[in-house]
Amino acid sequence: MQRKVLALVLAGGEGRRLFPLTAMRSKPSVPFGGRYRIVDFVLSNIINSGIYSIYLLVQYKSQSLISHIQENWNQTSVSRDQFITIVPPQMRKGLEWFQGTADAVLQNVNLIQQYAPSHVVIFGSDHIYRMDIAQMLDFHIGCRAKATVAAIPVPIDQASAFGVIKTAGDGRIERFEEKPKNPSSMPENPAKALISMGNYIFNTDVLLGALADAQRKSEHDFGAYVLPSLVNTRGLFAYDFSRNKIPGAKPYEEIGYWRDVGTIKAYWESNMDMLDEEPIFDIYNHRWPIHPTISFTPPAKIISGDIQNCSISNGVRIKGAAIKHSIIRSGVIIEEDVEITDSIIMEYVHIKKGAKLKKVIIDKNNVINEGEKLGFDCNKDRFRLHIDECDIGILPKTIL
């Protein structure tokens, strides 16, 4: 069967639970790790999988994301099948913005019809992971599936935030429940539930029919309506993400690493997962690269200091500081006698002499004053930081 695959990336997420990191940008545009944005992970997976026809559907606070894509993800090719095109809401069905995931695709159904693919890959842009989508497509075609959902087990106390799946032995989905209050556990593991990762592959004719049906019934979401409606067709399958094999993966990495970084706690933890000598998610994989932000800043310059288990990006200048288990993004200036532990410091922050930071997130363009202490006393920090419910303090982005 000849494959002509079109990818749609749902990148309109508002990211309320990541506030204040999303005060001025959408969730997919939030910086991550040393040189990435969250959206870079799904785009890298798609490109590395040999899929080059991509529509990126944006919505909330999209300018930062649009600028990032234009500056870092331009594909120059003589082929009409190689593109990453940004698609804001077209409002073809009325004056409303996207009402849900299925509605976002429905409002752009003309793009699918014009491209005429055999399969449509619909992926979210809110997660940190590596995935070879070609392996999922092989599974989809091998099962003669109409639609396939990427699935992964999670602790059952976390499952209510996702679509929960019950499968037959061959992977066929027998029940799909969107964000149930009392999720069903896996028969072989009562402590976990099998959940949807928000990544789907559809046969094009099936997708178009399902979207038309959803429109007639004023339904707007894949998880709440489209996927449950396909259960009775016996053509809806779950793809076991743990079976996905990535070239260059290290033996010490967590098999099937996937994180929904929808909260400050999850975001901070996933950033920290990339540190250590043998991290559970190792960003250093030349056979399956995550493509970083293009940087025109000079190399990092470290005059002196005690630096342990850190990620230090281009353009950083450090003199006489002690930095442990932290991520320092590009253009940061760190002066003498500064102490930084378990923190994320974003672009162009200036940390002055004698400042001390512990388990905080400092967003772009901020100045930390001489001798200032943040992360040691929540009550004092509230005058300066946004304190998340997990007690991590965030200093919001400053507009220059």
Please state, in angstroms and rounded to a whole number, the distance separating the CA atoms of residues 204 and 112: 8
256 and 305 within one domain: no
Q: Given the structure tokens 């091998």, which residue do they identify?
A: 142
- Written as one letter, the residue type at 66 is I
CA dist 69 → 5, 39, 294 (Å):
21, 9, 11
80 and 24 within one domain: yes
- Phi, psi (degrees; rounded to nearest 5) at 229: -70, -20
- Report DSSP state, residue 140: H
- Does residue 275 lie within any of the structural domains? no
Cis link prior to 289 (omega < 30° from 0)? no
116 and 214 within one domain: yes
pLDDT tens-digit series, residues 241-250:
999 999 999 9
Are the CB atoms for 301 and 318 separated by under 8 Å? Answer: yes
pLDDT tens-digit series, residues 50-63:
999 999 999 888 89
Domain-terminating residue out of 229, 260, 291: 260
- Does residue 277 lie within any of the structural domains? no
221 and 72 within one domain: yes
pLDDT at 225: 86
Please state, in angstroms and rounded to a whole number, the distance separating the CA atoms of residues 302 and 317: 6
pLDDT at 99: 67
Please state, in angstroms and rounded to a whole number, the distance separating the CA atoms of residues 84 and 396: 30
Share of the chain above pLDDT 90, in %: 80
Largest CA distance in the chain: 66
Q: Which domain holds residue 103?
A: 5-260
Residues 6+ apart with CB under 8 A from 98: 12, 57, 59, 89, 104, 107
- Does residue 274 lie within any of the structural domains? no
Mean of pLDDT values over 389-395: 96
Please state, in angstroms and rounded to a whole number, the distance separating the CA atoms of residues 198 and 306: 42
Please state, in angstroms and rounded to a whole number, the distance separating the CA atoms of residues 352 and 172: 58
- Does residue 291 lie within any of the structural domains? no
pLDDT at 75: 66
* Nearest alpha carbon to residue 131 among 285, 257, 251: 257
Read off the tokens for 183. Answer: 């999720």
- Does residue 110 lie within any of the structural domains? yes
Please state, in angstroms and rounded to a whole number, the distance separating the CA atoms of residues 379 and 385: 10
Lowest mean pLDDT among 219-223, 317-321, 364-368, 378-382: 219-223
347 and 198 within one domain: no
The residues pairing with 232 across neighbouring beta strands, listed in sequence order, are none
Please state, in angstroms and rounded to a whole number, the distance separating the CA atoms of residues 386 and 344: 15
Please state, in angstroms and rounded to a whole number, the distance separating the CA atoms of residues 197 and 164: 10
- Does residue 79 lie within any of the structural domains? yes
Top pLDDT among 256 and 400 is at 256
- Quick one: pLDDT band at residue 187, thresholds 50, 70, 90? confident
Domain-terminating residue out of 260, 287, 313: 260
The helix-helix angle for 39-48 and 63-72 (nearest 10°) equals: 40
Please state, in angstroms and rounded to a whole number, the distance separating the CA atoms of residues 14 and 16: 6
Lowest mean pLDDT among 202-216, 305-319, 333-347: 202-216
* Nearest alpha carbon to residue 136 among 200, 194, 208: 200
pLDDT at 97: 61
- Does residue 235 lie within any of the structural domains? yes
| Average pLDDT taken over every residue of the chain | 92
Total domains, the chain: 2
Lowest mean pLDDT among 28-32, 185-189, 391-395: 185-189
pLDDT at 345: 98
- Quick one: pLDDT band at residue 221, thresholds 50, 70, 90? confident
136 and 64 within one domain: yes
- Does residue 169 lie within any of the structural domains? yes
Read off the tokens for 120. Answer: 């449509």
360 and 216 within one domain: no
308 and 223 within one domain: no
pLDDT tens-digit series, residues 63-112:
999 999 999 997 666 567 889 999 987 666 655 666 678 888 888 899 99
We report the CATH number of the domain holding residue 169 as: 3.90.550.10
pLDDT at 156: 94
Kindly write down the DSSP assignment for every residue of 208-235, as one continuous string: HHHHHHHHHTT---IIIIIHHHHGGGT-
200 and 92 within one domain: yes
- Written as one letter, the residue type at 69 is I
Read off the tokens for 318. Answer: 């450090």
We report the CATH number of the domain holding residue 314 as: 2.160.10.10
134 and 186 within one domain: yes
305 and 255 within one domain: no
pLDDT tens-digit series, residues 8-50:
999 977 788 999 999 999 999 999 999 999 999 999 999 999 9
pLDDT for residue 332 is more than 90: yes
175 and 52 within one domain: yes
Domain-terminating residue out of 234, 260, 286: 260
